[in-house]
Structure formats: C-alpha cells, structure tokens
Structure 1
Amino acid sequence: MRRTFAVSALLIAAATGARAETAATLYSANCAACHRADAAGVAGQYPPLKGRIDKIAVTAEGRRYLADVLLYGMVGQIEANGAAYVGYMPAFNRLSDADIASVLTWISSLGGSKPPPAISAADVTAARAQPLTAAGVAKQRQALEAAHPLP
C-alpha cells in the first residue's frame, strides 16, 4: 500500500513538473522574444506579465480577457503598472486550448498570488467559441478596466 502511494505521488509530481516545463517551453518559444524570458517586458514597448497576470486572472472576466488576448491578439494603447504601451499583440490561436491555458497559468504562477489563479482549457475553449477581433479585445480591456482597475 505504501509503495503504491509512493509511486503514485512520484507520478503525479512528475506530471506536474512536465506540465510546468512544457508551459515554460511554450512561453520561451512564443512570448519571450517580446516579453523577455523573465516576463518583465521591455519598458515602453512590451508590458510586463510577471506580477500582473495573476492579478487579472482572479476573476472570470479577467481569465476570459487573458484567453482572448492570446487567441485574438490586441491592438492599441494600454496602461500596465502605471506605464503606457502602444502596440500590437499577435494572435496565438494556432496553439491548442490546453497550451494557451498552460502558458497563462504558468505566467500567473510568476506573480505573488498564493495560490496563483489557474486558467483552464475550458476557459480558453469558451473564449474561442465567441471570436473577437484584436480591436474587440482592446474594447474588452477598456470595459474590464472600468469595472475594476487592471495592474
């Protein structure tokens, strides 16, 4: 019995570690070129993700917005941590719902929230079922910002 439990615990730990490694690899391949490997962004060009995504993901509307940003991209000006950013975020809708959820959850884990909010594949699937344009995502952000300020 103890042996079975120990083996099960090791398998669960290995699977969890593999998911985090996959998410980190996906982030590195798709996000790090702009938002940097440490998710700190580039002042004036690419907003920081670390320490912000976890705060946005605490509400269902925030998780939906984050999924929409990755699925449909975004264009226009945003404010992040008190700094203005004007630009274009490309769509990553070629990634699977599970991959998008994995990357968002991994970025969320870089913030200070304990436990960090998780974005599920179901959250992404729901967002994919209601397509938006990049401009529509920007409007969604404005509405979210009006409801409660985003970091």
Structure 2
Amino acid sequence: MAFENPDREQIKEILEQAGNIAVVGLSDKSDRTSYMVAAAMQQKGYRIIPVNPAVQGEILGEKVYASLSDIPEPIDIVNVFRRSEHTPEVAREAVQIGAKVLWLQQGIVSEEAGSIAAEGGLTVIMDRCIKVEDSILLGKR
C-alpha cells in the first residue's frame, strides 16, 4: 500500500501538542532553508533543538547536538533536512529515543525511513514543510 500522510486535522493536532522539535541537518548558515524554517518555527513559540555533527556550539541560541541520542530531553518531532538516502538511519535513531513523529521536509521521501518509523510507533509525515503546515493550520499566533 502506498504511503499517505496523516490528514490535516491530525497534523494540526501534532503541531498543537509539539514541545521539543529536533531539527536534523539544521544549518548554521542563515541563507539555508533549514535555518529559515527553524527560525520561523522558533518565532512561533516552538522549542527547536539543532542536530548537526558538523557544527559546534549553538544555532538560533540553542545548543547543537551531534545526534538525536545525545539530546538529554524528550523529543516530540524529529524534523529532517537530510537527503532521502540518509533518512533511514535518522528514523532508527528517532525510534530509539522514543520520538513521537518523524517529519521529512518538503522534497524528502523515503519509504524505508517511513516503514522503520511507523513500525517503531511513530507518526510519519513526508514531503511536507513544517513551517507551511503550521501557517496553514494554525495561522498567526
């Protein structure tokens, strides 16, 4: 059976209940899409936790972690800005840390990652921009 994203009502609930959002592949360069999306989500009140092994220190005022398993607090959404071929490993780690949602950004699709996450009990969203979904479903806050 082909993959289908949750319906808009479910996505709205996910966003309303989201606490910590780990952003895998978050760049420290302000002209990158990952940075712009994470900054916009942070401005809307979401807690962004950067995950990027190539960056030391902070991004958007938050400590950067090398991997999901290094984060010492619970994660609701794992938001992924990595190429599709890297997402199965991210999905395995998301399952391992007990995240609730694996969210692959717009343009990123991986049936393998989706299966790993779904079998691990996570809700899976692929090929959607979290910032766009938030704007459509929750509007200005």
Does TM-score exceed 0.5, indicating one fold? no
More helix by share: 1
More strand by share: 2
Q: Which has the larger radius of gyration?
A: 1
| TM-score normalised per structure 2 | 0.31
